[in-house]
Each structure stands twice: as C-alpha cells, then as structure tokens.
C-alpha cells in the first residue's frame, strides 16, 4: 500500500480530542455507575484514554532514558480494552450473570501475564521481535504479542456476536444504540489490524489511537444524544417482549419511543412506524385515549379501548433514585377476561340468589300447605294439635284462659245428597271464610275434619268465647249462598270449652267441647252450648 502524505501535526490534535471525548464518557459513566454496563464502559473509556495519552506523550515528549518506556506503559491500558468491552456487551444485552467471579478472575490472568511479559521483554524478546526505523518506528510483534492480539480479537469478536444478536432482535430505538456501539468498536479494531499487519497508510504510525478517537466520539454521542445508559435494554427480550401486559415508553416530549408486542395487540397498532411520533398520533387506534392521561405525575384507572376491551392503565414517570429522567412508562393490562369472568360470576350469583329465594318461597309454601286445609284454606288438624299444646303450656305459666269452639254443620249430609258435593264444598268454604274473618290476633280457625271446625281462642274467657261463637252462628244462619239457580242456606251447632275450667289437657278440653256440641245437636241444632264444669 502506498503511504499517504499526511502532516503529522494533526496527530497530537486528534489524540487530544480523543482523550477529551473519552474523559467525557468516563464522567458520564461514573455519574450513572449504578446502570448496567456503566462500570465496564468506564474501564473501556479509561483504557482508551490511557492508550491515547501514552501515544501522545510518546510522540510529543519522546522516549527519554528508556526508549521502550511508552511502549510498555501503553499496554497497561491496552490489555483492559477487550475484557472491558466484552463485560459491557454482556451487561448491555442482559447477560451480566455470565460475569461470575471465576470468569472475571480468568479474564484478569491474561492482562497480568502479558504485562509481565512486556516489562521483561528485554530478557526474552517474545513481545517485540524487532523495531524498524527510528523513534516511534515500526513495531514487529513476537510470539507472545500475537497470542495476546488473537486473544483480544477473540474477546472483541464474541462481544460483537452478542451485540449483533441484540441488534437483530431489538426495536428501532435500541438498534440505533447497539448499531452505534458495534460501529464505534469496529473502527479502532480495524485501525489496530492495519497497524499490526503493517498495512497502515501512515509509515511507522499506529492507527489504533485514531480509531479510539472515533470510538470515543461515537460512545459520547450515544451517551449524550441516545441516552445509552438511560435506555439500556435490560432483559427486554427475556421479559418485556414476552410480557402479556402492554408496555409503552414515552420520552420527555411524550413521543412514543418503544412498545412491546402486547401493547401493539391491545392498541391495534399494526406497524412500528408510530415510533417517534407524539402519543396522540401513535395511539390513533385507541378511540378512548385522552391527553389528560399524561397531565399527571402518575395515573391509574380502568379504561375502555374500543367497545369490548377493558384495560387497567398505569402511567408512571420514569426516574432513577436521584433524578427524573424525563419520560413516562405506560403499562396496559388487558382485564377483559377478568371483567367477563366477574360479570359471569355476578350473573351466576344473581341467578343463585334468585333460585334461593324461589326455594325459600317454595319451602314456605310447602310448610304452609303442610298446615293448611286445601279446600277452605284454614289451618288443619296437625296445626291445631301443635298450637293448642303450645298455648296450654303457656296458659299453665301465665294462668290465662284458653277457649276452644268446636263447630259442626247441621244436616250437612242432606245438603250433599240434595245439591251435590259441590254445594257442600261451597258451604265449607263459606264457613271457612266467615271463621277466618272473625278471628282476632292470636286466634286460629282450623278445619278439624269433614264438616267439623275448631276455633282456638287464646286468652279468651268462657263467657266471651260463648258470645263470639253465637255471633258467628247468627251471621252464618243469615247467609244465602248462591249455587247455580239455588240459594244455599245452612246452620251449625257449636260447643265451647275453656282451659283449665273444662279440661286440663288437649284431649280432655276437646272432649268437653265435643260433649257440649253433642248436647247442642240433641237440643235441636243451630245453637251454641258451653261445656260442663269438671267435677272437683
């Protein structure tokens, strides 16, 4: 290759510029040293600055007493560049867990051994086989040098493989970052290859520092303009890309800079050309979107997207432990299935409650039917027995009277024979309605069987019970019940007994009322008689 005619006064200026850019990168990396990849990037930038400073001093100051002093000092930084770049690439692509203590210790062995070889090269000549020319000269590497070079290239090559994989999977904003890193690291690598293989267009000049100048400029641009350490794709492929929740990232101007596949599905975003556009434009498919969502520091609510999709929306300001970074994180969780399941559960609960109410009504109805006579609607004999036993026990404690009225229709068989059983049933229903209307609070009218009825009168004295029974008799006697073309007319006889005056228990009390009823029938029917006193 024909040497280029370059004025070497530009060489120190370029090195000074590179050192300044590297120092700027060091300062930013130190300030954000908690971010993944910051510490390896700091070491890489510091090693690059060291290489350029030593090259600059070698060119400007000269060799002094030891002609190899700058050559030896350069390698103090040179040996750190490849391991640091590899560590940065691993942390940047979420493979930092590979950097175990054992791996770091193994990576430190080669730099230490090579520097020992450099400082003892005068004894074995395995690093520098020879020099051509004067002063800066043209370096010819020895066996150890070539081993070190290929080892460093292997580390850097592996780091580039990792970065290229990240580049291919990353969205556009991260592709720009990783592309800048890959390109910036290739420039000094290419310059170093031209130098060590003696293909440099600068006779006796090392192109690697020039490459480091470009690399420092690219890294500084990534730090300042691309937010390298602010937007490192931590676990993005492993976590964010595979999340079921939609994730969107907005910058300080509320422009959409990133979103995952779940967000695209939820919002109906078909193409990634929305990246870089204002949130309102990017979310045009979201008809319910409101700029008010971004007017607060934090926002959390359930919102509708479309007509049938319900989303739990959370918007948070992006910030570190110390400062706000000037962006927003939007997380969309599709809770439509949850809402549908909740609605289905509520509907099922509502139906279940309705069924329980219906069951309770049916149970009450069954209970009522179990104690009611189906023809007259009055209580039946079972209810009478249970209620009368309870009232007698209560009367024993309180000494209040309990009266019963036993009623039997007069000549009921002849009515059935003359007009039919329909007429008899109608008269029974009429009696039942009359007894029910005459009852007061606590009273109970029961159909005892056939044409017999019992009225239970708790707390009613014998004389009052006689009066009330006779009043009902007169009302029934006055009735004329229409039945087809006929007017039905009937009477009844009744016997009245009172506890404990006429009986001390259920059976004796009803028996006393039955005897009084029989006496009323015997005396001509259509009358009410009271039971006889119990002999003492």
User: What residues does CATH 1.20.1070.10 cover in the chain?
Assistant: 10-224
With beta carbons less than 8 A apart as the criterion, state whether 502 and 482 touch: no
What does each C-alpha distance from 14 to 18, 209, 357, 420, 439 come to in angstroms?
A: 6, 9, 90, 130, 118
Query: What was the pLDDT predicted at 472?
Result: 95
| Contact residues for 129 (Cβ-Cβ < 8 A; gap 6+) | 140, 141, 142, 145
DSSP 356-374: HHHHHHHHHHHHHHHTB-T
- CA 4 to CA 341: how far, in whole Å? 76
Query: What was the pLDDT predicted at 481?
Result: 92
With beta carbons less than 8 A apart as the criterion, state whether 77 and 89 touch: no
User: What residues does CATH 3.30.450.20 cover in the chain?
Assistant: 243-334
Domain 243-334 has CATH 3.30.450.20: yes
With beta carbons less than 8 A apart as the criterion, state whether 332 and 311 touch: yes
With beta carbons less than 8 A apart as the criterion, state whether 36 and 52 touch: no
Query: What was the pLDDT predicted at 536?
Result: 41
What does each C-alpha distance from 285 to 94, 267, 269, 270, 277 come to in angstroms?
A: 33, 6, 7, 10, 14
- CA 458 to CA 438: how far, in whole Å? 14
DSSP 435-500: HHHH--TT-EEEEEETTEEEEEEET--HHHHHHHHHHHHHHHHT--EEETTEEE---EEEEEEEET
- CA 477 to CA 29: how far, in whole Å? 113
Q: Which of 123, 120, 141, 144 is nearest to 132 (CA)?
A: 141
Over its length of 536 residues, how does the chain's per-residue pLDDT go in tens digits? 344 444 445 677 877 887 888 788 788 778 777 766 778 888 888 888 888 888 878 777 765 556 578 778 888 888 888 898 888 888 777 777 788 889 888 988 999 998 898 888 888 888 876 644 334 456 677 888 889 889 988 988 898 888 888 777 666 656 677 777 787 778 777 777 777 776 766 555 667 777 776 776 676 666 555 555 555 544 455 556 667 788 888 877 788 877 888 888 888 777 767 777 887 777 776 767 777 777 777 888 878 777 777 888 888 887 655 555 567 888 888 888 888 888 888 888 989 999 999 888 888 777 777 788 889 989 998 888 888 899 988 988 988 999 999 999 999 999 999 999 999 999 999 999 999 999 988 899 999 988 999 999 999 999 999 999 999 999 999 999 999 899 999 999 999 999 989 988 889 999 999 999 999 999 999 999 999 865 54
User: What residues does CATH 3.30.70.270 cover in the chain?
Assistant: 381-530
Domain 10-224 has CATH 1.20.1070.10: yes
Query: What was the pLDDT predicted at 191?
Result: 74
Query: What was the pLDDT predicted at 464?
Result: 95
Token couple for 68: 């190899």
Domain 381-530 has CATH 3.30.70.270: yes
- CA 115 to CA 121: how far, in whole Å? 10
With beta carbons less than 8 A apart as the criterion, state whether 142 and 125 touch: yes
């Amino acid at each position: 290759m024909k040497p280029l005619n370059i004025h070497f006064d530009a060489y120190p200026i370029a090195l000074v510029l590179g050192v300044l850019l590297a120092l700027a990168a060091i300062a930013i990396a130190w300030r954000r040293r908690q971010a993944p990849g910051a510490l390896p990037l700091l070491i890489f930038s510091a090693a690059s600055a060291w290489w350029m400073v030593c090259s600059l001093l070698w060119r400007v100051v000269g060799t002094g007493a030891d002609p190899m002093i700058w050559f030896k000092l350069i390698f103090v930084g040179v040996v750190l560049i490849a391991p640091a770049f590899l560590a940065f690439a691993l942390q940047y692509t979420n493979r930092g867990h590979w950097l175990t203590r054992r791996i770091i210790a193994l990576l430190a062995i080669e730099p230490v051994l090579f520097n020992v070889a450099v400082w003892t090269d005068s004894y074995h000549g395995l690093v520098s086989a020879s020099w051509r020319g004067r002063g800066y000269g043209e370096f010819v590497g020895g066996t150890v040098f070539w081993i070190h070079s290929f080892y460093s290239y292997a580390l850097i090559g592996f780091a580039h493989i990792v970065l290229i994989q990240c580049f291919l999977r990353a969205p556009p904003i991260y592709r720009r970052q990783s592309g800048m890193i890959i390109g910036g690291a290739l420039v000094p690598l290419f310059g170093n290859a031209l130098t060590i293989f003696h293909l440099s267009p600068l006779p006796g000049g090392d192109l690697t520092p020039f490459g480091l100048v470009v690399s420092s400029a690219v890294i500084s641009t990534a730090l300042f303009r691309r937010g390298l350490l602010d937007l490192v794709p931590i676990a993005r492929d492993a976590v964010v890309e595979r999340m079921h929740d939609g994730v969107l990232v907005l910058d300080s101007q509320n422009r959409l800079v990133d979103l995952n596949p779940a967000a695209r599905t939820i919002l109906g975003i078909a193409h990634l050309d929305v990246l870089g556009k204002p949130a309102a434009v990017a979310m045009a498919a979201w008809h319910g979107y409101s700029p008010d969502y971004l007017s607060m520091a934090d926002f959390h609510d359930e919102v509708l997207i479309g007509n049938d999709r319900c989303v739990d929306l959370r918007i948070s300001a992006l910030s570190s432990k110390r400062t706000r970074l000037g962006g927003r994180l939007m997380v969309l969780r599709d809770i439509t299935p949850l809402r549908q399941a909740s609605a289905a559960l509520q509907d099922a609960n509502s139906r279940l409650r309705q069924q329980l109410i219906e069951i309770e009504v049916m149970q009450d109805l069954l209970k009522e039917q179990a104690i009611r006579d189906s023809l007259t609607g009055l209580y039946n004999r079972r209810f009478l027995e249970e209620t009368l036993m309870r009232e007698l026990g209560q009367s024993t404690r309180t000494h209040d009277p309990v009266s019963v009225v036993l009623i039997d229709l007069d000549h009921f068989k002849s009515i059935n024979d003359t007009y039919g059983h329909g007429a008899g049933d109608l008269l029974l229903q009429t009696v039942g309605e009359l007894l029910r209307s005459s009852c007061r609070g606590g009273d109970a009218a029961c159909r005892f069987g056939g044409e017999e009825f019992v009225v239970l009168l708790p707390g009613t004295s014998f004389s009052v019970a006689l009066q009330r029974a006779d009043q009902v008799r007169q009302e029934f006697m006055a009735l004329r019940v229409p039945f087809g073309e006929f007017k039905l007319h009937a009477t009844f006889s009744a016997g009245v007994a009172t506890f404990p005056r006429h009986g001390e228990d259920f059976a004796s009390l009803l028996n006393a009322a039955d005897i009084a009823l029989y006496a009323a029938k015997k005396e001509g029917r259509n009358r009410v008689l009271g039971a006889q006193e119990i002999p003492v």
